[in-house]
A and B are shown apart, each in its own frame.
Chain A
Amino acid sequence: MTGGVQLLAVGAATPSWRLPATEVGAAWGRAGGRGQAAVCAPDEDTLTLAAEAAGRALAASGLQTDIVDGLWWGTTRPPFAEGPSHAVLARAVGLSHRSGGALASGSPHAGVEALLAAADAVGAGTAQVALVVVSDAIVPGLGTPFEARAGAGAAALVLVSHGGGASLGPRVTRTHPYLDRYRGDGEAVTRDLYDGRLFREEVFLPTMRELGEQLGALDVDRWSLPDPDGRLGATLARQLGAGTPASAAVYETVGDTGAAAALLGALGALDAAGTIGLVGWGGGRATGITITAREPVRGAVLVADAIGGGRTVTYAEALRARGQLVSSGETVPMGVPPQSAQFVRGADEMLGLLGARCVDCGTINTPPSIHPHCISCGSAKFVLEPLARHGRVHTFVVNETMPAPFVAPLPLAVIDLDDGARVMLQVTESAAALELGGEVELVMRRYAHERGVPVYGYKARTVGTEAR
């Protein structure tokens, strides 16, 4: 059914914080708690994770981003409930204005939906190169049993019609109109299951067994299986005779990453030849598919690095970053409303991080829209080009005095990029390692959430530090 759909490259990303389950348990007077979950810093969300994973997959593919025919993005909860989520991500990863694709959302099953839709487009020949991104940063209900396991992360795949090192195999899918985890209309947080035993005995295990047995007939070597509560994954693996699933270690490190979980749990295993079976579930649906690698898939060797690391944070820090712990009083509004003309004029240059290279003297002026004339020679002849995403710190400060919604300390650095452009940007949490001449890379981050609109742009992240 998927015809000759090939997997060319993969990438993964997780947020920079880790929240130990014991932190959450202690807050609610519950003993114990196992493992940890990856949680977003204040400037990270499902889109920034998606952009980072996509960037890594595209880099591993060796392809130019402008030949990608479409973006298929699966996330339970897109950053704009209604709005340009897909368009913003497409621009942030450098896809052309002609690219297509689709956004799947509404449940964690959105991840496999995006994968299958992209595969179908490549199989049907309507796309030669498809970018699949699955990501989530679930905001769990406070005090729910699954809160400590609610993680965040992203995986990305580049699918091609020919020439990849792995192929997509058959798929199996089931649909039943049951309620699992859900978020009601207008609600801010995701509710837990109504009845854990009902879900386990009547919904999850029967459905998954049925799916798994069918997939298991296909000589699956490794598995990526859902684990909604920290126990069901192991139970399911036992019932399927699957050994320890490849996904177990991922769940242990970053928690349940929702729409990203099935692929994130599988990508690391693509570092070697073999067949992996992965299962995504949610919203009354479950879908399994196999991927057979004939050789190590490009980018797979880097997946473990993307999942590891992270700074351990307190429950209070995580709550504040998720917007669940909010200070009283007014916050300072953004001078430029996020719906206004400057964002329309500046969308490409902000999300695509463009510079204007002077044809006469070579100086790169940033951003182009405020530079009708070159700052070095006054010329008005420019060529637009994406800025280098790597450079060195020329000078920096750490702002310790900030009004809400800013959170101090806020480092800002003047950076000399590898292409000669000079920019000033905020620096991510990696700032402890900031030093003059130090290496930085530019990463997509959420600068603000203003009047209901997330505002994205690039920040600098120090290279070679543990915090990512």
Chain B
Amino acid sequence: MSWNRVAVVGAGLIKFGELFDQSYEQMAAGAFAAAVESVDHGFDPEQVEAAFVATQRGTLWGQEGIGGNTVPSAIGLAGIPCTRIENACPSGSDAFRVGAMAVASGVHDVVLVIGVEKMRDKSAEEGLLARAAAGHPIFTRGETAPVLFAPFATRHMHEFGTTPEMLASVAVKNHYNGARDPYAHFQNEITVEDVLASPAVCRPLHLLDCCPQTDGAAATLLVRADLADRFTDRPVYVAGFGVATDHPYLHEKSSFVGLKATQLAAERAYAMAGLSPADIDCAEVHDCFTITEILDIEDLGFVDKGKGGVASLSGETALTGRIPVNTSGGLLAKGHPIGATGVAQLTECWWQLRGDAGDRQVDMRHGNALQHNVGGRGSGVSVINILTTNQP
């Protein structure tokens, strides 16, 4: 495929958590500073030609009309071109894709992709839970976020014998990883028993099957690949990406054991990168709920359909497993500040590819890492980015 290659020369994030003491603008400034700081040969912020901001819901912190102008001012770059991307849970990964395309197109040489999300400025009732009353007055009424995924758990258990323990093993693994990630919201290890004993949130999912509500921000700096050596001797490249959509309502799904949007996006991303699932060394995937990670690793081709639960329980996706998944702690432990999530996942991939992941470092045999989000009504949109250390 002929497109101008893109390199990631900087990436960083702020410590995720309930950041009651930080404004949206302060979080954005913190993430941008972290990304600038990470550039090996130094980076002058004035080099940023354009910014792409992922914020999924201004409504969650009281600025309903947020456009692209909030972030440039907050990071001291007022006046630069800035576009806000909202594309449900993959907002961050889609902003990255759009930023990469802006560079690949030749229009910009250096762009900032930054995800910022305030999830906790409003109470849960007025925030995420209010979704129960949003959407279609009958056909989606009562549809809080877990309702989007719990029906898949019910059906996956029925068709493949997946057990609550297998679901729980995903949370146990991701909390283990999160306990080794200084940026994670939760840094404590948990057990399968802890998960099963936690309160029911949306049967069959327990509290610890669900990711928390987390504030956070993350940023990456993208440049034309042929300019990368100005910034670093250890560049990471964008190998490819894929995006796909599916019908937006749950009752329109033909299958409740897989997410079609992920499957289609994966096909496209692998084709663009010229890679197959076996070439991926580690993956940051969308584990908003434990069942989601099980669906993801099947739909991304890491394990056969129906085997995700067994694979998780047997450690195939652990740090030392065949295909380490969510080494950062994932959404379950690191947190899910929606717009920031994808960008933070890409930051983890960047660290793993550069060997900078500390206690979480896994063996990067092929030099390829995959990042994935899925979400929106009916999990109808998925975005996948694949990063590599291999020269284009």
Residues of A that sit less than 8 Å from B by CB: 330, 332-336, 338, 342-343, 346, 350, 366-367, 370, 375, 394-404, 406, 409-410, 412, 414, 422-426, 436, 447-448, 455, 457-458
Contacts and interface: CB of A to CB of B under 8 A. Distances in A.
Contact of A448 (B125, B130, B137, B200): B137
23 contacts: A332-B133, A336-B137, A338-B137, A343-B137, A367-B139, A395-B158, A396-B154, A397-B202, A399-B144, A400-B199, A401-B129, A401-B201, A401-B202, A402-B129, A402-B142, A403-B126, A406-B142, A412-B143, A422-B252, A436-B158, A447-B141, A448-B141, A457-B138
B142 A414 contact: no
**The 8 residue pairs across chains A and B that have the minimum distance between CB atoms:** A457-B138, A335-B134, A397-B150, A403-B125, A424-B251, A398-B203, A395-B155, A395-B151
A444 to B, nearest CB: 11
A463 B125 CA distance: 34
B144 A402 contact: yes
A334 B253 CA distance: 25
A46 B124 CA distance: 34
B58 interface: no
Contacts of B249: 370, 424
B142 A436 contact: no
B142 A336 contact: no
Given A342-B137, A397-B147, A397-B151, A414 B251 contact: yes
A334 B251 contact: no
Given A332-B132, A399-B147, A458-B138, 8 more contacts: A343-B137, A395-B154, A399-B142, A399-B202, A406-B132, A406-B133, A423-B251, A424-B140
Contacts of A401: 129, 144, 146, 201-202
Contact of A424 (B125, B139, B205): B139
Contacts of A412: 142-143, 147, 151
Interface centre among A332, A350, A448, A458 (most CB of B within 10 A): A332
Nearest to B247: A375
Contacts of A343: 137
B126 A332 contact: yes
B256 A394 contact: yes
B203 to A, nearest CB: 4
Contacts of B315: none
A425 B155 CA distance: 17
Contacts of B138: 350, 425, 447, 455, 457-458
B132 A398 contact: no
A399 B146 contact: yes
A406 B151 CA distance: 19
Interface in B247-279: 247, 249-253, 256
B155 A400 contact: no
Contacts of A422: 251-252
A395 B129 contact: no
Contacts of A399: 132, 142, 144, 146-147, 202
A400 B202 contact: yes
B4 to A, nearest CB: 35
A394 B155 contact: yes
A373 B58 CA distance: 32
A217 B204 CA distance: 64
A346 B136 CA distance: 10
Contacts of B135: 335-336
Interface in B293-315: none
A458 B139 CA distance: 9
Contacts of B130: 332, 403
A83 B137 CA distance: 19
B32 interface: no
Given A350-B137, A424-B251, A403 B129 contact: yes
Contacts of A423: 139, 251
Nearest to B148: A397
Interface in B198-232: 199-205
A330 B253 CA distance: 34
B208 to A, nearest CB: 13
A400 B142 CA distance: 10
Contact of A414 (B129, B146, B203, B250): B250
A394 B251 CA distance: 10
A447 B129 CA distance: 17
B152 interface: yes
Residue in A333, A375, A395, A398 whose Cβ sees the most chain B Cβ within 10 Å: A395
Contacts of A398: 200, 202-203
A423 B249 CA distance: 9
A425 B137 CA distance: 11
Given A397-B150, A400-B202, A426 B129 contact: no
A447 B135 CA distance: 14
Contacts of A409: 203
A399 B149 CA distance: 11
Nearest to B142: A410
Which of A366, A399, A414, A448: most chain B CB closer than 10 A? A399
B375 to A, nearest CB: 17
Contacts of B124: 403
Nearest to A365: B252
Given A334-B133, A457-B138, A395 B152 contact: yes
A375 to B, nearest CB: 5
A403 B304 CA distance: 38
Given A375-B252, A423-B139, A447-B141, A436 B154 contact: yes
Contacts of A395: 151-152, 154-155, 158, 256
A450 to B, nearest CB: 8
Interface in B178-202: 199-202
A395 B134 CA distance: 22
A313 to B, nearest CB: 21
A419 to B, nearest CB: 14
A259 to B, nearest CB: 28
Contact of B154 (A332, A375, A397, A455): A397
Interface string B97-135: 000000000000000000000000000111001101111
Contacts of A402: 129, 132, 142, 144
A455 B137 contact: yes
A402 B125 CA distance: 8
A424 B152 CA distance: 13
Most buried by B among A403, A406, A455: A403
